[in-house]
Structure 1
């Protein structure tokens, strides 16, 4: 039992970069949650999201993601949709900031946030149009068979693929689940609700194409050696359904969470109100008084 558990927990491909980022985030959140009041539900959602990221990238599950298409799609949905949604829904930025020592906040974080590279990068990645496009594009582009083959043959491309899925997921959900009005929020409240319906549409179409395909679109998994022995098209069908149904369901949940925030902002009177238009008075043509 213990040997089996250890086998699953040992990373298939060890990464010092991932481990350092993961542990640093965990330590900051633990420190911050001791300094700020954080509800049990928020803590639970955060740690579940972090556990999903770790299990997807740094355990033996990664082996199956590299050797079976439908397991790969499960990994991508977890990294791109579920884990970022769970973590962003807890609004962890304030807690993570509180976890930093005061001197680091004053001497490192504040100057960094004011620097032009930080403002440029965050301005591009968190632009609503860019973030929405990247959220969809990174799903579709890694479904292209030639790029999927490249990712499976080159570990650097494979890691780049996983990081792009994770980062684009965090960027998108941080805009959709923003609890602030617009401005200072980057998206309007109504657009936050509608955006998941827009982004899920091309993903549903892509998932349907993979699901109903009668040919093996990803023979690279046969070359790498499949983890399971059932029919190739059956695994591809399952992978297409995962891209289609669970991903759309998670985005629907995200849209409902955005709707709840919209209603909360409206109830608290925090939505910007458009100024009432004054009716334009059109005076009739006046005639000059005649001299009597």
Structure 2
């Protein structure tokens, strides 16, 4: 027990991490009872949230700061695994249900309907921008001068980590949405193509880091390595492999899940109904109707995965 508490003790305490994780956990726990979230989705959410907390706020952070391959393992969790599991749980309905109704009506809905909010989501959920941000952030933080500064300045270090978490949540939320479009931002086929487009750049960067014959990130040698028995080049090669293979494989798994949603919706004729509704709307000269998956307002809907809608 003492050993577990030792490892759970944060290397650099951050109130932001604690508050964000507690708020997300409380909202999901409250809302899951009303939204009737299946056990499998609950497990995915809690595993994803726990993974983010462990990667951000435990003693492991010391190793993330003093070994390149451990840093890559951290970002694999922050950018891929944690957000992937949370998005796979489709927590939107539960999180909304966890917010008191009066707060939703007075604060959440008006905020989401503002022009700024609509523009923000239109931009970040644009397929080209989404895949560019997802891959571009990996490249940006691995540029040698940028990485050097980020590992020395704790403020920039936290910005780096949070940018990976937020971008990962937005990207996987877009890709793993099980609904047809609308209400989903992208049609299932486009979601599959977007995540496939993210695979080659990760492979190229991982291979470059692995095969480079000189040390790309000397900051770890300057500040002292956590594992002195691993040579700098070996450390760099392992880090490159983590980006090359597990990172790319997560995208492959995401593509397979998006493809599964596409096939499921097609088998249920949901895609055909989408096209017919849009065609009818254009023929009548009016905007296309937003198709909900549960016959209720969008704020009350749950994903089209067999779960029940929110309670009033």
TM-score (norm 1): 0.91
* TM-aligned CA deviation for residue 185 of structure 1: 2.2
- Distance in 2 of aligned mates of 1:36 and 1:81: 26
TM superposition shift of 1:184: 3.1
Aligned equivalents of 1:198, 1:40: Cα separation in 2 = 32
What is the deviation of 1:146?
0.8
* Aligned counterpart, 1:130: 129
Tell me how far apart the structure 2 counterparts of residues 67 and 244 of structure 1 sit (CA, whole Å). Answer: 21
Tell me the distance in 1 between the aligned counterparts of 2:116 and 2:107.
Answer: 14
> What are the superposed Cα offsets for residues 29-53 of structure 1, whole Å, 9 maximum, x if unpaired?
0101121211111011110000100
The answer for unaligned runs of 5 or more in structure 2 is 280-312
Mapped contact 2:206–2:242 kept (Cα < 8 A): yes
1:107 and 2:94 correspond: no
d(CA) in 2 for partners of 1:27, 1:74: 27
- C-alpha distance in structure 1 between counterparts of 2:65 and 2:73, whole Å: 11
Does the 8 A contact of 2:131 with 2:197 survive in 1? Answer: no
Aligned to 2:305: none
Deviations 1:225-283 (A, max 9, x none): 100012111111100000100011111111111011101110111113477xxxxxxxx
**CA distance in structure 2 between the aligned counterparts of 1:117 and 1:23, rounded to whole angstroms:** 27
Instruction: Give the aligned partner of residue 265 of structure 2.
Output: 265
Does structure 1 retain, via aligned residues, the 8 Å contact 2:10–2:58?
yes
Residues 95-130 of structure 1: CA distance to partner in whole angstroms, max 9, x if unpaired?
A: 000011111111111111112222222222222221
Q: Please tell me the root mean square deviation across aligned C-alpha atoms, in Å.
A: 1.3
The separation in 2 between residues aligned to 1:50 and 1:141, in whole angstroms, is 25
Equivalent residues of 2:144, 2:217 under 8 A apart: yes
Matched, 1:43 2:42: yes
CA distance in 1, matches of 2:204, 2:251: 15
Output the CA distance in 1 between the equivalents of 2:275 and 2:19: 45
1:114-161 Cα shifts (integer Å, max 9, x gaps): 122222222222222211110010011111111110100111111111
Q: Measure the CA separation in 1 of the matches of 2:175 and 2:130.
A: 10
Name the larger-Rg structure: 1
Q: CA contact under 8 A between 2:78 and 2:165: conserved in structure 1? A: yes
Tell me the distance in 1 between the aligned counterparts of 2:82 and 2:220. Answer: 25
**Cross-structure match for 2:235:** 235
Separation in 2, partners of 1:254, 1:53: 19
Gaps of 5+ in 1: 276-292
Q: Secondary structure at the match of 2:225?
A: coil
Cα 1:73–1:118, aligned 2, differ >3 Å: closer, same or farther?
same
- Superposition deviation, residue 65 in structure 1: 0.6
In structure 1, the residue matched to 2:71 is 72
**In 2, Cα distance between the equivalents of 1:183 and 1:111?**
21
Matched, 1:185 2:184: yes
Secondary structure of the structure 1 residue equivalent to 2:254: helix
What is residue 288 of structure 1 aligned with on the other side? none
Most deviating of 41-50 and 266-275: 266-275
Q: Deviations over 1:6-64 (max 9, x none)?
A: 22101111111221111001000010112121111101111000010000000011111
User: Scaled by the length of structure 2, what TM-score is found?
Assistant: 0.85
Secondary structure of 2:198 counterpart: helix
Does structure 1 retain, via aligned residues, the 8 Å contact 2:64–2:71?
yes
Aligned residues: 274
The aligned residue for residue 96 of structure 1 is 95
Q: Which residue is equivalent to 1:254?
A: 254
